[in-house]
């Protein structure tokens, strides 16, 4: 017996709970029309009187209001206490693409009255964890995250689950985790490297090396595209000339990373006529090492990469490289997040991976050895 004197049976209580939960989580939005009594009878296999009992209690609880001949409509407004702040966690701010990505994010959210709280993950799960906990404590409106070491299961899934339970939507940029499902906005990394490797093959190259990150999704997918192109063209895969490195600033763990790059540059000289690099940063590092050893690009070794940056500066080498969407990616991921903020019932349902189209910009870093 409730305070208004109405006794509901178990079936009416179950229907009442189902409707109130979906109003509270935003699935049934303010002033929207609820399913008809007939539809609910069929959906839950219950009687018309059971539905009427549940609706009567919903009206007494001021969840709904009923209009004769029109139906039942949501009366309760769902009010959140989220602050008008969007948390953004990227890997490294100083890398060449991220200022433009952030510009795109700010452009969308500033128009909608939101501020940005920026964090840097630095490819460390402990730093990511601290950031997530701070965002949860702040009760932000939403999060855009570039995942940490996304090739591996993430140990911070309970933090992400807490955010979702608090109705704080999360959208990943560049990647997503294998053990946590949420919307993401990515480049078609596998296709990019497949196409670039195919360019090398069409230019006559058969001894092709590769340099990839082993701890993030992009590195694994770019390697997959690289391997796919070699297999399709019946070209030998020689693991001696495929090098893997961990994600970190080249200034971090400097000696170890320099050693990896130096050894790779040394190994490919005289053994490869071309290499596919994870991105422009690693390509520029390898080019520097090759030039120091008297090896020229593209005369001696051809190179392809990703991001189409100006990192080579005044060099006469223009890398053939995939164009990173930068600002457009920032705007796109922000629109995906805004949709979840405005429609909170989608938070637990929306798991779509949005793949942005990317062009490959042709430079002068590939030598056609067929000529």
CA distance 227 to 253: 29
Whole-number pLDDT of residue 110: 94
Identify the residue whose tokens are 């409106």.
141
Residue 99 half-sphere exposure toward CB, CA atoms < 13 A: 4
CB neighbourhood size of 129 (10 A) = 17
Per residue, what are the HEC states of 182-205?
CCEEEECHHHHHHHHHHHHHHCCC
Whole-number pLDDT of residue 251: 56
Going residue by residue through the chain, which has 371 residues, state the pLDDT in tens, using 9 for 90 and above.
344 445 678 889 999 999 988 887 777 877 889 998 889 998 889 999 999 999 999 998 888 898 888 889 988 776 667 899 999 999 876 667 788 999 999 999 999 999 999 999 988 999 999 999 999 999 999 999 999 999 999 999 999 999 998 889 999 999 999 899 899 999 999 999 999 999 999 999 999 999 999 999 999 999 999 999 999 999 999 999 999 988 765 555 567 777 888 899 999 999 999 999 999 989 999 999 999 999 999 999 999 999 998 888 778 999 999 999 999 999 999 999 999 998 887 887 778 999 999 999 999 999 999 87
CA 144 to chain centre: 8
Q: What's 10-74's CATH class?
A: mainly alpha
Whole-number pLDDT of residue 4: 40
Whole-number pLDDT of residue 262: 86
CATH architecture of the domain with range 189-323: 3-Layer(aba) Sandwich (3.40)
Whole-number pLDDT of residue 81: 78
Question: What are the sequence ranges of the domains in the chain?
Answer: 10-74, 83-187+327-356, 189-323
The DSSP line for 125-174 is HHHHHHHHHHHHHHTEEEEEE--SSTTS--TTHHHHHHHHHTT--EEEES
Residue 280 half-sphere exposure toward CB, CA atoms < 13 A: 22
pTM greater than 0.85 = no
Q: Say which residues have a Cβ less than 8 Å from residue 217's Cβ, sequence separation at least 6.
A: 147, 150, 151, 174, 175, 176, 186, 189
Alpha-helix residue ranges (DSSP H) falling in 45-124: 48-60, 98-111
CA distance 198 to 196: 5
The two domains 83-187+327-356 and 189-323 share their CATH topology (first three levels equal): yes
Going by C-alpha positions, the residue among 129, 271, 114 that lies closest to residue 206 is: 271
Alpha-helix residue ranges (DSSP H) falling in the chain: 10-24, 37-44, 48-60, 98-111, 125-138, 157-165, 189-202, 217-232, 254-268, 280-292, 327-342
Q: Are strands 170-173 and 302-307 parallel, antiparallel or unpaired?
A: unpaired
Q: Are strands 360-361 and 242-245 parallel, antiparallel or unpaired?
A: unpaired
Q: What's 83-187+327-356's CATH class?
A: alpha beta
């Amino acid at each position: 017996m409730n305070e208004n004197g109405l006794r509901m049976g178990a079936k009416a209580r179950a229907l009442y709970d189902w409707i109130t939960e979906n109003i509270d989580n935003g699935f049934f939005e303010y002033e929207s029309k609820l399913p008809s009594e007939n539809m609910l009878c069929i959906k839950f296999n219950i009687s018309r009187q059971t539905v009427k009992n549940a609706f009567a209690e919903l009206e007494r609880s001021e969840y709904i209001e009923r209009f004769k001949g029109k139906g039942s409509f949501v009366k309760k407004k769902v009010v959140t206490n989220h602050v008008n702040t969007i948390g953004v966690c990227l890997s490294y701010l100083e890398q060449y693409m991220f200022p433009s990505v952030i510009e795109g994010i700010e452009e969308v959210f500033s128009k909608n009255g939101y501020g940005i709280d920026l964090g840097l993950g630095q490819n460390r799960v402990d730093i990511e964890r601290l950031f997530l906990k701070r965002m949860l404590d702040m009760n932000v409106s939403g999060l855009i995250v570039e995942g940490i070491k996304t090739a591996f299961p993430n140990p911070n899934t309970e933090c992400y689950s807490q955010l979702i339970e608090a109705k704080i939507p999360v959208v990943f940029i560049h990647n997503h985790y294998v053990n946590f499902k949420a919307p993401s906005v990515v480049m078609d990394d596998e296709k990019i490297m497949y196409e670039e490797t195919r360019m090398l093959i069409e230019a006559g190259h058969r001894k092709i090396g590769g340099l990839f990150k082993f701890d993030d999704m992009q590195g694994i997918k770019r390697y997959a595209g690289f391997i796919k192109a070699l297999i399709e063209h019946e070209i030998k895969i020689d693991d001696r000339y495929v090098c893997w490195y961990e994600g970190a600033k080249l200034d971090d763990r400097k000696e170890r990373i320099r050693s990896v790059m130096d050894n790779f540059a040394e190994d490919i000289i005289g053994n490869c006529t071309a290499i596919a690099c994870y991105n422009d940063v690693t390509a520029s590092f390898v080019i520097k090492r090759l030039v120091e050893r008297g090896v020229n690009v593209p005369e001696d070794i051809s190179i392809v990469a990703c991001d189409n940056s100006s990192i080579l500066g005044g060099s006469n080498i223009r890398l053939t490289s995939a164009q990173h969407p930068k600002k457009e990616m920032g705007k796109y991921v922000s629109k995906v997040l805004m949709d979840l903020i405005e429609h909170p019932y989608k938070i637990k349902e929306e798991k779509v991976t949005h793949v942005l189209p990317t062009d490959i910009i042709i430079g002068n870093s590939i030598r056609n050895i067929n000529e």
